[in-house]
Amino acid sequence: MTKHEFDFRVAYADTDRMGVVYYANYLVLFERGRTELLRHMGFCYRDIEENDKVFLPVIESSCQYMAPAYYDDLIRVRTFVSDVGRASVSFRYEIENVQTGRALVKGSTKHPFVSQSWKPVRAPEKVRKALLAAKEQL
């Protein structure tokens, strides 16, 4: 199983009026996580789009908020490949406070592989093989 993790310092601009990370910003962190996971696996989203003419839009997302993160907190984003189909991939995410180890957010996203005309297509074989090798064994 391959995972990718990175640490992120919460900036003031990431918080809402109540002083906690704005809920939608976690979806942005999910995107960063899967982009970096793919890069860690040897692929770049941009190259897949430009060279293979294949895109990965989000068709489903979920987010479970368990505890707030605040300005200047250091948080860790972990990304995993949770499922791989012939024409789709799903990712799972965990976000925690680095200093306390407290779980903050758990989530997932599902992505079909589509052509430039938004028609479903099979994943490029090299990408699919790498995703299958990286998939969590549950």
Which residues are designated catalytic?
A: 16
Work out the angle at residue 115's Cα, subtended by the Cα atoms of residues 114 and 116, and round it to the nearest 5 degrees: 125
As a whole number of angstroms, the distance between CA 121 and CA 112 comes to: 8
As a whole number of angstroms, the distance between CA 105 and CA 21 comes to: 11
Contact between 16 and 22 (Cβ < 8 Å): yes
- Axis-axis angle for helices 25-40, 45-52 (nearest 10): 70
